[in-house]
Amino acid sequence: MSLKDTLRSAQPESSGPLVEVRNLEKHFYDNDNIIDRLLGNGPVSIRAVDGISFNIHRGETLGLVGESGCGKSTTGETVLRLQEATDGSVQFRGDRVFEMNGDDLSEFRRNAQVVFQDPYTSLDPRVPVGQTVREALDIHNIGTKTERNERVRDLLERVGLSEDQFDRYPSEFSGGQRQRIGIARALALNPDFLVLDEPTSALDVSVQAQILNLLADLQEEFELTYLLISHDLSVIRHICDRVAVMYLGEIAEIADVDTLFESPKHPYTKALLESVPRAETAERDRDIETLQGDVPSPRNPPSGCRFRTRCPEVISPNSMDIDQHVYRELMHFRELVENEEISVHKIAQDAGISESATELDSREQKAFVETVKDEVLDIELPSSHESTVNDAIAHLVDEEWERAATELRSEYESICETSNPQLTDDEQPVACHLYK
């Protein structure tokens, strides 16, 4: 049997999704070495991927998109078992990947490959590119050496290089050419499934389109299935069939590419799409509402919906008529109170209260309350909310933090912070309380 026949026979057909991911978790841990244990420092969990689920169907391209640090690359590595999962499962052709070992794991490695983000560091500078592409064939002992070399030369030509570049070193190639070499390496074993981890982000714009078109052509020719990881929405729209949007280790929304771009549901998806530059002259003067605040740390993600600290559509308590901007400022103020992050001493100084004062009279107390509102809240507070906020601030005079926080919490607590929304079970799944 020829090498090509051997590779083709290793890929049986199966019904159902090619890849099924269920409740996948990957946590890393700080303070987890022997010195920390001796000092009594407990490990701190970094929840890079925290319970995500999705399917990838044979022959399709699923895009995984989100801001840097949301867990996209960790997801791809864990699906391929380059990282060991903390919990959850991945099935490939119906077989459980995390339970594989021996020949079963070797077979999975043959059929699931990766194209790395950086073409400059993903190739060994001391090894000729032909040997780099052939390495997987050598490891799996497929075909004779002559057949392997012929396979490599065919692949080099197929990705837009030439067979006479077989013995050249990575330093002799441009970034785009190196990425083509990485693609050829991933295709050497004729896999079913490729994880493309930001395959164009390190390349010039003029080269990106060439690589994307090459990937599209190869997918059709070799009947490949892709998981494309990217933060670039234009890349996602160009090549993907469906898109999963990630935020802080969780999936916020899944939809086919046209639906996602034309009718997004999740506020985070809307904000991502709003940030994409538009070429149309009619869009030139549009108002762009950028996301406020920074992405929270995966060491200590927010309770409830993880996007709530930046969301422009946080759900206020039932029957409360309040402007979204005002409500968000009140939520932020409450968090400052709960974390005791307001300098009572400085507020008192700014209010003109003497340091020797042990009990404030009504004038001083009013001055303290107004100074907090001016310096911390910095909003025009509606009269219907004056009493609640003033009472809470008054407790800060005696640094009764918990009492102040309790009053604010009882009035302004949102379902977005008490309950973590799960993906809905419909044609466009979205994890948002607006769509319960």
Q: What is the pLDDT of residues 390-422, one digit of tens each?
A: 999 989 888 899 999 999 999 999 999 999 999
In this structure, the answer to whether residues 123 and 28 fall within a common structural domain is yes
CATH at residue 110 = 3.40.50.300
Domain boundary among 262, 287, 304: 262
| Rounded Cα–Cα distance for residues 172 and 154 (Å) | 20
Provide the domain limits for residue 366. 324-413
DSSP one-letter code for 170: G
Q: What's the confidence (pLDDT) of residue 382?
A: 87
**Domains of the chain: total:** 2
Q: What's the confidence (pLDDT) of residue 399?
A: 87
The pair phi, psi for residue 318, each rounded to 5°, is -50, 135
Helix, strand, or coil here: 74?
helix
Nearest to 212 by CA among 243, 187, 186, 237: 237
Domain boundary among 234, 262, 290: 262
Residues of the chain falling short of pLDDT 50: 1, 283
Asked whether residue 243 is assigned to any structural domain, the reply reads yes
In this structure, the answer to whether residues 331 and 213 fall within a common structural domain is no
Nearest to 61 by CA among 204, 230, 188: 230
Domain boundary among 224, 243, 262: 262
Angle at 72 between CA 230 and CA 289, to 5 degrees: 65
| Rounded Cα–Cα distance for residues 124 and 131 (Å) | 10
In this structure, the answer to whether residues 332 and 220 fall within a common structural domain is no
| Rounded Cα–Cα distance for residues 436 and 432 (Å) | 7
**What b/e sequence results for 325-359 when a residue is b if at least 16 CB atoms lie within 10 Å of its CB, and e otherwise?**
ebbbbbbbbbeebeeeebeeeebbeebebeeeeee
Asked whether residue 350 is assigned to any structural domain, the reply reads yes
| Rounded Cα–Cα distance for residues 93 and 106 (Å) | 15
Helix, strand, or coil here: 164?
helix
Angle at 309 between CA 308 and CA 314, to 5 degrees: 40
Asked whether residue 212 is assigned to any structural domain, the reply reads yes
Question: Given the structure tokens 């590779």, which residue do they identify?
Answer: 7
Asked whether residue 255 is assigned to any structural domain, the reply reads yes
Q: What's the confidence (pLDDT) of residue 292?
A: 72
Nearest to 123 by CA among 189, 173, 72: 173
In this structure, the answer to whether residues 349 and 222 fall within a common structural domain is no
Helix, strand, or coil here: 335?
helix
In this structure, the answer to whether residues 56 and 185 fall within a common structural domain is yes
In this structure, the answer to whether residues 256 and 348 fall within a common structural domain is no
Asked whether residue 187 is assigned to any structural domain, the reply reads yes
CA R_g for the chain: 28
The pair phi, psi for residue 195, each rounded to 5°, is -95, 120
Asked whether residue 100 is assigned to any structural domain, the reply reads yes
Asked whether residue 58 is assigned to any structural domain, the reply reads yes
Question: Given the structure tokens 């190196």, which residue do they identify?
Answer: 178
Asked whether residue 69 is assigned to any structural domain, the reply reads yes
Q: What's the confidence (pLDDT) of residue 34?
A: 63
| Rounded Cα–Cα distance for residues 168 and 255 (Å) | 43
pLDDT tens-digit map of 55-100? 999 999 999 999 988 999 999 999 999 999 999 999 999 999 999 9
